[in-house]
Amino acid sequence: MRRSDQRRDAVFASYQRDVTGHPENKNVMLQLMNLENQKIAVLANLFGGQGTINVPSWSPDSKSLAFTSYALLAPEDAHIGAK
C-alpha cells in the first residue's frame, strides 16, 4: 500500500482471490482507498503484479499516480516493434 503524502488516500494492488503471495504476471486491480471513510474505488484493472506499484508513486502534489502494466508476448512475437 502506498499512501499519498498530501492527501488522505492510499493506493494498492489486489489480486484475484485464488492468488497467493505477491507474484508477477497476473491480473490485478489497482484500488484507491480513502483513509478517512475507508471507501475503496477501482482505478484500473490491469496485467501486472510484482513491480506494478513497488515504490513511492504519487506526484509531489498528490494529484497523479504512476504504475506499471505490461503484456506478455509469445517468444516468436517478441521482435515485433523492436529496433
pTM of the model: 0.69
What residues contact 72, with CB distance under 8 A and at least 6 apart? Answer: 25, 47
How far apart are alpha carbons 62 and 83 in whole angstroms? 36
| Digit-coded pLDDT (tens) for 9-63 | 888 888 888 988 878 888 888 899 998 899 999 998 888 878 777 666 788 888 8
CA angle at 23 for the pair 21 and 28, rounded to the nearest 5°: 100
Domain boundaries, the chain: 2-56
